[in-house]
Each structure stands twice: as structure tokens, then as C-alpha cells.
Structure 1
Amino acid sequence: MNLLDDGSFRPASGINAIVPDEFGVYAIRLRSDAALTEPFQSLLEDRATRVIYVGQAEKQTLLKRLLGNELRARGNGTFIRSIGAVLGYRPPFGSLAGRARAQNYSFAPTDRMAIVDWIDSSLDVSWSVLPQSEVHEVEVALIREHTPLLNLQHNPRALPELSLLRAECRAIARGISTPVL
């Protein structure tokens, strides 16, 4: 089955027991009965796809990447930071002040729970197991071909709106009082 075939996707709420502890790539799409905030919903509709993110599990397995960092907000995944910002959540002010890796912001615990609840009710997930040596190349090719809305790297149609939101979140987390936006 192909990673982006309709039959490959499963509701995010039902994958905890079936995500493999292996390397690979994954795709996240918006369910047909769900919507993003504007302008992201309109931008997604312009792309004629519901796929919003393609990621890789190259240094961590799919199990750790999807159920740790990306969909359950237990780590600092790129997707969770992007979708949280798109949904209107912001990190606690100054939460990264003085830290060496001041770009890896996270949200307050109650906000993380709300984001995970939204993910479970609004998103479907697909994955494909690959040899670790092929993961990065496959991910880059998929991003370049399908231009998922929330991918910034390797995306020829990367959204400046998303870059600005993420910059605003980093500024807030660093304790900069004037948001970037």
C-alpha cells in the first residue's frame, strides 16, 4: 500500500497500539470533516490535498517519533509545534529564556492536552517502514512532490505565514515582549 493512498490512513486516536518500532516515513492529513484555522484552511484547499505534513523517523523509530514527539506532545517535534501555533496556542512567556536550544518551544500542559485532543479528533496518519538509510531521501522527495502545508524544509511552497507564527512562538518562549508578528 502507498503511504498517501486513502486506505493507508488511520485515525490518529487509534494508532497507539499499532505504530511499528521501526524506521520509516509518515504522513499526516486533515480528516474530511475537520478544518484548520484561517488562512491555513483556505491555503490547504488551494493545494487540493488534505495531507498537511510528511515526516521522517530516521534517528528515532516511528513509534517514538509519532507517539512521543509529534502526535502526543511528549517531546519537541516539529509537527506538534507547528500545529499548535496554527491552532492559536502559544508557549508560556519566557519558558526558553537562557536555554541553549531556544527554538524548541513547547506549550503549557493544558494546551498540550487540548492540541492532542484536536489531533485525535481531526487527523489521520499513515506510515511506511523503510530501511534507515532510505528514510531521509524518501521524505525529501515526498515533501517536494506533495508540498504539505506544514512542512517548511525542502518544500518549494513553504508557507511564510507558518514561518512567522513559529518565529512568534520562539520569541514568546525566549521572553521577548514584542511578538514578531
Structure 2
Amino acid sequence: MKKKEITRCEWVQNKPDYYMDYHDNIWGKPEYEDQELFKWLSLEIFHIGLSWQLVLSKYDQFMAAFDDFDIQTVAAYDEDKVTELMENEGIIRYRRKIEAIIHNARQVLDIQNEFGHFSEYIWQFTNHKQIINHLNIRLTKSPLSDQVTKDLKKRGFMFIGSVTIYSYLQAIGIINDHDLTCDFR
């Protein structure tokens, strides 16, 4: 008996194993844990202007450099830590992005104080339901990403825009944009 070939989204074809692992196990799957939500937001910020493959290839280095994206820890980073991160050749060394990650960790703490969990806040925009797109077109932003971006900016978040937030919403599974033929849909 022949084993069925796995069908993945077109954009992940011929990518390295770590990229396919991201597609298969993370992208489009609902995430509710605050630290994971913060981590993916941070990595999406590092993605701005660069390839996602580059960011994922540095995943382990990012995790080590940013203390596993522990929100409390990152929020407490000072100028010495920024200098240390700027000297870390294993990550993307862009000062404004690094400073935005630290600043945004503080904003996540404020949201946790208001909502109990960052997850409660971010999932409220869809009434805690996943949006499953039924079109085989690749969107880069939507009215939802516009709305979330506007609210995050109002709350002081830095280095974000609707395209970045759309990608983030895909990463954390609020939006499931897997191709219609993808086995991971």
C-alpha cells in the first residue's frame, strides 16, 4: 500500500525542514498562551523588511537572546541589555526593533493587568473564534488586521502595521489561511 503524500501550502514548498515544521505545527493553529503570543509578535516585528525564512533560521538564537521571550523579563531589559543584544551576531541586530520588543513587552503587561491575559485581549477581536479563509488568494492585510493594529497603536505598541499584524494573526491561528488543498488546514 502506497503512503499518501502530504500536501502543504504552496508557499512552503521546497523550504528547509524548520520552515515546514513552522507551517505544519504553528502557522494557523490557535495559540492562547501569553508568552507564545508575545514571542510570535516579536518575531513578526523582526520579520519586517526581511524574509520569514531568515527569522525562522535564527529562532533558537532569538529564544536564547530574549530569555525565551518571557514577558516580565523582556519588559525589565535596560540599556545594557540592548547593547548586549546589539552585539549578538546570532540575531537580527536592528536597534529600533529591539527597543520596540522591550517596549511592547511593557504594553503586554499593561494589557494583562486590564484583561487578565493578553490572549483574552487579542482573541476578543474575533469573539474568540478562528477565521478560516475559504479563498485561495494570499492576503497581506484585512479590515481585522487594520482594527487590531489601530487598537495596539492606541495602546502604545511600536513598530507594527496592518501587514505585520495580519501575518501575526496567521501565526497565532486567529486567521487560518492554509491553502484549500493543504492537509494542515
TM-score normalised according to structure 1 size:
0.28
In our comparison, the structure showing a higher alpha carbon Rg is 2
More strand as a share of residues: 1
TM-score normalised according to structure 2 size:
0.28
